Amino acid sequence: MKLFEGLNEFQSEVFGNLDLTNQKITNKLFFDCEFSNCNFSYTDFESTLFEDCSFFNCNFSLSKILKTQMRGVVFNSCKIMGIDFTKCDMLMVDFSVKECNVQSCIFSDLCLKKSSFYKSDFIECDFFNTDLSETNLSQSDFSGSLFHNTNLFKANLTKCINYNIDPFKNNIKKAVFSLPEALILLNAFEISIE
């Protein structure tokens, strides 16, 4: 089944309960569209644009997003697993994540300034050279995630848990943290607190 075949542009459409597992979606334009309860597992998105689109309760397990553009995209209560976001069109990457399960994804080298990654689980994700300045990361779990040369200037990390951020290797100036989790920042000093 080749849904979207023959059509290249979609405006203000609502898509629900689609199963697009193992499908390839190429050269499509989606403007102000809503997707709910859709399965995009192993789906290949190539040279596709999502502008002002929202995804609710969708599964993006091992999807590919080669040269895909995202502007004003919202992922809400989605499962996002094994996606290399560095394969997106780097000139247009603007998305937010709310209450999602994000696992083994790569966000390295992306500019996600002033984004919102709110109340989500970011398990074993890579944030190398990522610009997360002024981003709302509050109430998120970063178990096993790696931060290196990450710009967290003025980022909101209140009520975040399980992060391991080295203040010598990341910019945390004016970032906001909560106790007791903020004590993990002292690990870089190799000191003991009793």
Please give the Cα distance from 143 to 173 (Å, whole number): 22
Domain annotation covers residue 99: no
- The answer to whether 75 touches 55, Cβ cutoff 8 Å, is yes
Check residue 35 and give its pLDDT: 98
- pLDDT for position 75: 98
Distance CA 44, CA 100 (A): 20
Q: Model pTM?
A: 0.91
Does residue 124 lie within any of the structural domains?
A: yes
Q: Are residues 111 and 193 in the same domain?
A: yes
How far is the CA of 64 from the CAs of 25, 144, 192, in angstroms?
A: 10, 22, 44
Looking at residue 189, its pLDDT comes to 65
Considering all CA atoms of the chain, what is the largest pairwise distance in Å, rounded to the nearest integer? 67
Round to whole Å and give the CA distance between 108 and 83. 12
Question: In angstroms, rounded to a whole number, what is the distance separating the alpha carbons of residues 64 and 169?
Answer: 30
The amino acid at residue 102 is V
On whether residue 180 sits in a domain, the answer given is yes
In a domain, 165, yes or no: yes
Confidence at residue 182, expressed as pLDDT on a 0 to 100 scale: 79
Q: Are 84 and 106 in contact (CB under 8 A)?
A: yes
Cβ(66)–Cβ(87) under 8 Å? Answer: yes
Q: Per the domain annotation, does 53 fall within a domain?
A: yes
In total, how many domains does the chain have?
2
Residues 175 and 120 in one domain: yes
Residue 183 belongs to what domain range? 107-194
Judge whether 97 lies within some domain: no
d(CA 95, CA 31): 14
Q: What is the CATH number of the domain that holds 138?
A: 2.160.20.80
Classify 188 as helix, strand or coil: helix
Same domain, 189 and 112: yes
Tell me how long the chain is: 194
Mean pLDDT by 10 residues, the chain (194 residues): 72 96 95 98 96 98 96 97 94 92 97 96 98 97 97 97 94 92 73 64
Final residue before a domain boundary, out of 66, 82, 98: 82
